[in-house]
A and B are shown apart, each in its own frame.
Chain A
Amino acid sequence: MSKVAVLLCRCFGAVDGVIDLEALRREAEEDASVVSSTSSDSLCLKEDMEKTAALIRDCGAEKVVIGGCSSLARGDAVIGGLVREGIKCSHIGLVDLREGCAWIHGDDPHVATLKAWNLVQMEIAAMRYRKASDDVTVRVCPEAMIVGAGPAGLSAACTLSRLGFRVHLLERGSSPGGMLNLISHVYPSDEKSGDKTKKYSEEVEKNPLISFYPKAKILSVRGFAGDFKVHISSSEGEKKLRVGAVILASGARVWLPYGLYRYGKLKHVITQMELERQFLRESVPIKTAVFIQCVGARNKDRPYCATMCCPSSLKNAARIRDENPDARVFILHRDIMTPGSVLEAYYRKALAKGVQFIRFQETNSPEILGDERVEGVEVFDIINGMKREIDTDLVVLSTPLVPNDDNAKLAGMLGLELDRYGFFPEIYPLHPLETRMDGVFICGSARWPVSSDQAMMQGEGAAVKAASLLGREAVSALSLSRVPGEKFGHASVRAEACTGCGNCVAVCPFEACRLQNTGRKSVSRVNKLRCKACGNCVSACPNGTIQLPEHDYRAVGAMIKQAFAEERFK
C-alpha cells in the first residue's frame, strides 16, 4: 500500500475559518495509509512549499493529498511547485476544500467539516489506485509539411525555412499563390496581389529548404506529433514523407449563389470573384454597379460572417469610382462589417469616394429588375423607410467563403474533426492555431475565412508554433501538453484481458487506438502520442481492459465508496 502524506492548507483562515482543519488532520492521521498529516498557513507560499517538500521527503511518503483551494485558484501552482520538488504529478491529489467546500457551505461549519473529511477521504482512497502512465519519447523529425500554398501556406513555409527547418509545401494547383492568383488587388493596402505573391514564390523557388509539390494530393497520414508518415502524390509521382509537424493552410472556396438573385441566369449578375477576374484581365470602365452583401451568408444555412466580403466590396466599389468618377456605385448591405481601426478607415475612404450605402433587411432582400438583362435593382431602404429603384446594368453579389469539399477527408486522415460549418477548428480559444491533434497546426481560411494579410499573419504564427515543436530534439507523450504541469496521462491496455472488440477504436476521437492482430486474437494498442486521455475508450470498453492509470476505475470506485462514508464528527 502506498504511503500518503496529507497536507492541509488553512489559507490564512479562508479554509479553517469554516472547516475544523485540526479535526480533519487528526482524522487523516488515523487512516492506515497516511504516514503524515500536517496543516500549514499557506501551501502556495515559497517558504511553506519548501518546508512541505522537506517534510514529504522525511516521512517517506510516495503520494501526496493536498487539501486547499481549487486547481484554478492556487492549486495548480502548488502542484507545479511539488512537481518541481521532484514529486510525480500523478502522485499528487488535490482536494478543493476552499471553493468547493468552505466558501459554499460557510453557513454550516459542522456540515462543511464533514464534507471536507469525506472529500479528503475520497482522495486518500483514490490515491491508492492512481498510477503514473508510462511515458514514451520519440525523436522529432525536424521537417514540416504545409498543405496549401496560398498566402497562409506561403508565409508559413518561408518563415519555417528561415528558421532553418526543411519544408514540404503541397499545392493542389500548379503554382503557388492560392486565392491571390484570382484577385487583382488586396485590401486594405490596395497592393497588386501579384506583387504580393511574387516575393514569396521567388523564395519558394530559390530556398533549398523548401520543396514545392504542385498538383499534390495527400493519400494517407499516419503517426503523431514529431513523427508523421505522410504518403503523397504530386506531379512528380508518389512520395513518402516523414515530417514532425503539419501546417494546414488549405484555404477555402468561394460559394456560388446559384438560385439567388437570378445568378447564373442573367449575364450581368456576377460574383465578386468574377468582377476581380474582369479587373485582372483588363479593366473596363463601369458606369453603374450595385453590390449586394451577405448573399448566402449570415442566414440559416451559413450563419457565419465571412469577414472578407465587406472590405472586398469596399475595395472594388472604390476602385470603380476611381476609374470612372462618374460611375454610380451602390453597396446594398445588412451591416457593413469593418472591425478594427484600419478597416473602419477603409470604409470611410470609400464613403468619401462617393460610394453609396443602402441598408436592407434580411427578410426584405433586394430584387433584380429586368427580364432579359439587368435593368435595375429594387430595394427597401430601412434607413429612410422607402422602396428605391436603382437603375444599373451590373449587379455584384458578395458571397462568403465556404469550406473546401474535401475537408472532411483531410480531417479524417489527420484525426481532426470539422466544426459545424466544415472548417478546421482550433482546439480551444486559448490555444490559437493549434488543433486537437498535437503537431497539426492550422492557419488561413482553412480555419476561418480571412483576408490575405491575416492569412499571412496566421501562417507566420503557425510556423512559429510548429518550430517550437520541431526545434525539440525529442518529445515525450506526457510533455505534449498545453496545460500547466504534466499531461494528465494516456490510456493503457492490458493485452491479456483485451477481447479485441474494437469499441475503443470506434470511439477514440483521435484515432489513437487501433487493433493489432496477435495470432489468435486482436488486441487494442494505444498510440501514446496521439492519446489525449479523454477517457472515451475507458467508458466504451466492456471489461475495463483499457484504463487511464491516473484515473483507474478502482480509484473511481473507491471515491464513490467514500463519498458519503460514515459520518463521524458527531
Chain B
Amino acid sequence: MNPEFIKTICPYCGTGCGLIVKVENGRIVGTYPDREHPVSRGTLCIKGWFAHEFVHHPDRLKTPLVRIGNRFEAISWDEAIPLAAEKLKATAETYGGDAVGGLCSAKCTNEENYLFQKLIRMAFKTNNVDHCARLCHAPTAAGMAQTTGSGAMTNSISDLAGADCILIIGSNAAESHPIIMGEIYKAVDKGATVIVVDPRKTAVAQNAAMHLSINPGTDIPLLAGMMRHILDAGLHDAAFIRERMEGFEELKNFLQAWTVERAAGECGIGGDTIRNVAEVYAKAKEAAIVYCMGITQHACGTANVHAVCDLAMLCGKIGRDFSGVYPLRGQNNVQGSCDMGGLPNVYPGYQGVSDPAAQEKFQQAWERDLSDKPGLTLTEMIGGAGKEIRALYIMAENPALSDPDVNHVLESLAKLDFLIVQDIFLTETAKFAHLVLPAACFAEKTGTYTNTERRFQLLRQAIEPPGEAKGDFEILCLLANGLGIDFPYIHPREVMEEIASLVPAYGGVRFDRLERAGLQWPCPDTYHSGTRFLHEHKFTRGKGLFVTPQYTPPFEKPDEAYPYYLNTGRMFAHYHTGTMTRRSPFLNRELEEPYAEIHPEDAQRAGIREGDRIRITSRRGSIVTAARISERVAKGSIFAPFHFTEARANILTNPVLDPISKIPEFKVCAVKVEKEPYENQGR
C-alpha cells in the first residue's frame, strides 16, 4: 500500500534533471524533484513536474499494429517480429542493404541506440543510421570536432554559475533549458554580465544586461566583427594562441574583410554595440558562450559553430573551469545517441566508418563485415524514400512534424515499401507505418542517458509498460534474433560493458558507478572519476584549429511576395512534436492552440488583432494559426513554435541543407501573412 519512490531522469531536454517518481499500485501518481541530483538540485521545470502525466495516457500503444488497407489491426509480437524481419530482409535482398535505413532516437537510452545502430550495420551492412541530431546539433558535432576534436559541451552546467560574462547566442534557454538558465541566474546574482544575441526578445533576452537583436542568420558577421575588434584592440590571448592553436594566420586574413562597420551593417545593429560586446567578452576573467539552435539550424550552421569556437579560442576562453563553449543539447539523450554511433559516418565514440582501423575493430568485435561507406543522413534518407531507400525502421522519431518542408516528407514516407515505427504513441509518422511497434517510455525501462554536459546517468524502471508494449531494448533483441543476429543481452548493463570495451572514452562507465550521480565522459577506466571540463592541457585533436567560417546569407530573404522572416522554435510548456506534452493535460492547458507571434506594427498594417486566425504561407505550403501580437519579435519577423500538428510550422520551413552537416535551415525562411476571412475566424 505504501507508495514507492523511484529516482530517475527527466525524459525531456538535454539538461538531464533528476526526477523522483511516486508509484502507487503500479501507476505513477506524481513527480518530485530530486534534491540530491548534481544538475537540478531539487528543482524542475514545468515539463519535469508533470512528466508523469502522459505515461498512463489512454492513447499509449499497447499492441503491435499492422496496416491493412487504411487502418491498423492489432497483432501479436509473435507475428510482428517475423513480419518485420522478413520484410527488411526481403528489401535488403532485392535492393541491397543500402536500401534499408534506420532512424534511432535521441529519446532512447544509450544501450538501445547502440543496439539499433549495431543491428542496422550488422544486418544490412549499411551505415544508413541517423537520428534527429541531424536537425539540431549536427553542426556542433561536425564543427566542434574540426576545431577542438570533440563535439560536445566543453564544461559542466554548474560551471556557468562561475562565469563573469555569458554570451548567449541563439538560445532561449529560459524556455528550452530552464534549469540551465537557473545556473546562469546564479552567475548574474554574483555580478556576471549576460549578453544575448537573438533576433527575438525572448525571455532570456528580457533578463539580460544586453540584447543584440541581429538580423536573422547574421551570426557570422557579428562574431567576425567581434573578433576583428578584439584583434584590433589587442584583447586576444596571444600566449594561448601561440601554444595551443593553429590556423591563426588564416583567421586573421579572413577577418581582414570583416570590418566592424561591415559586420554592423549586416547584422542591423550599431558598430559600437559590437565593439562593446566584444570588449566585455574579451575582458571578462571567465567567459562562457552558450549557444543552441539559433547557431546551428542554418544553411551555414557548421560555419556558425566554427565562428563561435574561433571566438572562444581567440580569447583563450576554453579549456578551463567556467570558461568554455556550451552548446545546449535539445533532447534528453541526443548527446548519447551521437556518442553511441547513431550517425551515418561514425561508429560509437566518433570512430569514423571510413577509418580502416575503426572498421577493423568493429568487424572483429561484432564478427560481421561492415560497410566502409558513410551512410545517408536523415534528411537524405527521407528525401530518398521510395528511391534509394525502400524500407525504413524508425525508432521513436517523428519526422512528419520535425523535418523541414513536411508536406514533402509526408509524400516521401508514403512512397516507402515498408516502414516500421516503434513509438509510445501513434504519432503523425506512425500513421504512415506498415508496422507499428509499441515501446516503453522513460519510466518503464532501465538504461543510461547522457545529458548535455556529457554525464552518463542511470534511468531506472519504475513501472511495467502498458499492455503488451515492450522496452526498445527487448524489441531490438527480438528483432535481431529474427534477422539471424545473436543479441544475447539480458540486461542493458551488459550492453554498457560492451560499449565500454569498444570506446576508450567510455571505458570506465559501469552501471553500478552511475547509481549516485552519474559520470561525465571521458572516463577511460573504472578508477577515473569523470571529466568536468574538456581540453584542459591539450585539445582532443591535439592543437586547436581556427577554421575560417564562410558566411552564407540565409537562403531565402524576404521579398515582395513573401515579406516576412519566419523563425521557428520551442515554447516552454511544450516539447518538440508534442507527442508527450500535448497529451499531458497540465501542459496542454498552458497552451492548447498553435500561435504565431507578430510585431504590433506589422499586425496593425495587416489589420490583424490579438487572437485572430491568420494564414502563414511560404513557397512550400501554408498553415493557419492564431495571432499573438507581441513585441518579442522584431519588426518584419514572425515566430511560430513547431509543436503543433494542426499547424505544422515545418510545412513552411526551407529544406535547404548545410553542406557539411546536412542540417536544414529551420530558423530562416520567407513567408507572407494574411488574416483569414471572417467566416473562418471560428468565433
Do A and B touch, yes or no (CB under 8 Å, in the complex)? Answer: yes
Residues of A within 8 A of B (CB): 1, 32-33, 566
Any A CB within 8 A of the CB of B550: no
Any A CB within 8 A of the CB of B681: yes
With A and B bound together, what is the CA distance between A32 and B683 in angstroms? 7
Complex interface: chain B residues within 8 A of A566 (CB) = 609
Interface size on B, residues (CB 8 A): 3
Count of A-B contacts judged by CB separation below 8 Å? 5
Closest residue of chain B to A32 (Cβ to Cβ) is B683
**Contacts A/B (CB < 8 Å), 5 sampled:** A1-B683, A32-B681, A32-B683, A33-B683, A566-B609
Interface digits, B605-619 against A, CB 8 Å rule (1 contact, 0 not)? Answer: 000010000000000
The 5 closest A-B CB pairs, nearest first, are: A32-B683, A1-B683, A32-B681, A33-B683, A566-B609
With A and B bound together, what is the CA distance between A566 and B607 in angstroms? 13
Majority SS of interface residues in chain B? loop
With A and B bound together, what is the CA distance between A566 and B681 in angstroms? 20
CB distance from B169 to the nearest CB of A (A): 36
Complex interface: chain B residues within 8 A of A1 (CB) = 683
Complex interface: chain A residues within 8 A of B609 (CB) = 566
With A and B bound together, what is the CA distance between A33 and B681 in angstroms? 12
Closest residue of chain A to B683 (Cβ to Cβ) is A32
With A and B bound together, what is the CA distance between A1 and B609 in angstroms? 19
With A and B bound together, what is the CA distance between A1 and B683 in angstroms? 8
Q: Please report which residues of chain B, range 218-264, place their CB below 8 angstroms from some CB of chain A when the two chains form the complex.
A: none
With A and B bound together, what is the CA distance between A326 and B92 in angstroms? 139
With A and B bound together, what is the CA distance between A566 and B683 in angstroms? 20
Q: Please report which residues of chain B, range 142-161, place their CB below 8 angstroms from some CB of chain A when the two chains form the complex.
A: none
CB distance from A485 to the nearest CB of B (A): 31
Interface digits, B160-193 against A, CB 8 Å rule (1 contact, 0 not)? Answer: 0000000000000000000000000000000000
Closest residue of chain A to B610 (Cβ to Cβ) is A566
Closest residue of chain A to B609 (Cβ to Cβ) is A566
Complex interface: chain A residues within 8 A of B683 (CB) = 1, 32-33
Closest residue of chain A to B682 (Cβ to Cβ) is A32
CB distance from B152 to the nearest CB of A (A): 46
With A and B bound together, what is the CA distance between A32 and B682 in angstroms? 10
CB distance from A16 to the nearest CB of B (A): 27
Complex interface: chain A residues within 8 A of B681 (CB) = 32
Closest residue of chain B to A31 (Cβ to Cβ) is B683
Interface digits, B657-683 against A, CB 8 Å rule (1 contact, 0 not)? Answer: 000000000000000000000000101
Complex interface: chain B residues within 8 A of A33 (CB) = 683
Closest residue of chain B to A566 (Cβ to Cβ) is B609
With A and B bound together, what is the CA distance between A1 and B682 in angstroms? 11
Closest residue of chain A to B681 (Cβ to Cβ) is A32
With A and B bound together, what is the CA distance between A26 and B564 in angstroms? 33
Complex interface: chain B residues within 8 A of A32 (CB) = 681, 683
CB distance from B123 to the nearest CB of A (A): 54
CB distance from A399 to the nearest CB of B (A): 67
CB distance from B599 to the nearest CB of A (A): 15
With A and B bound together, what is the CA distance between A1 and B681 in angstroms? 13
With A and B bound together, what is the CA distance between A566 and B629 in angstroms? 13
With A and B bound together, what is the CA distance between A153 and B681 in angstroms? 67
CB distance from A108 to the nearest CB of B (A): 25
With A and B bound together, what is the CA distance between A148 and B681 in angstroms? 68
With A and B bound together, what is the CA distance between A566 and B604 in angstroms? 11
CB distance from B327 to the nearest CB of A (A): 41
Closest residue of chain B to A33 (Cβ to Cβ) is B683
With A and B bound together, what is the CA distance between A566 and B609 in angstroms? 10
With A and B bound together, what is the CA distance between A32 and B609 in angstroms? 13
CB distance from B677 to the nearest CB of A (A): 13
CB distance from A569 to the nearest CB of B (A): 15
With A and B bound together, what is the CA distance between A33 and B609 in angstroms? 16
CB distance from A562 to the nearest CB of B (A): 12
Interface digits, B590-625 against A, CB 8 Å rule (1 contact, 0 not)? Answer: 000000000000000000010000000000000000
With A and B bound together, what is the CA distance between A506 and B455 in angstroms? 54
Closest residue of chain B to A1 (Cβ to Cβ) is B683
Q: Please report which residues of chain B, range 627-683, place their CB below 8 angstroms from some CB of chain A when the two chains form the complex.
A: 681, 683
CB distance from A416 to the nearest CB of B (A): 44
CB distance from B638 to the nearest CB of A (A): 21
With A and B bound together, what is the CA distance between A215 and B571 in angstroms? 74
With A and B bound together, what is the CA distance between A187 and B636 in angstroms? 90
With A and B bound together, what is the CA distance between A25 and B180 in angstroms? 53
CB distance from A35 to the nearest CB of B (A): 12
CB distance from B604 to the nearest CB of A (A): 10
CB distance from A433 to the nearest CB of B (A): 52
CB distance from A526 to the nearest CB of B (A): 27
With A and B bound together, what is the CA distance between A73 and B26 in angstroms? 66
Interface digits, B269-285 against A, CB 8 Å rule (1 contact, 0 not)? Answer: 00000000000000000
With A and B bound together, what is the CA distance between A33 and B683 in angstroms? 8
With A and B bound together, what is the CA distance between A76 and B683 in angstroms? 32
CB distance from A544 to the nearest CB of B (A): 15
CB distance from A2 to the nearest CB of B (A): 12
With A and B bound together, what is the CA distance between A32 and B676 in angstroms? 14
CB distance from A30 to the nearest CB of B (A): 10
CB distance from A36 to the nearest CB of B (A): 16
With A and B bound together, what is the CA distance between A33 and B682 in angstroms? 12
With A and B bound together, what is the CA distance between A495 and B683 in angstroms? 30
CB distance from A185 to the nearest CB of B (A): 77
With A and B bound together, what is the CA distance between A32 and B612 in angstroms? 11
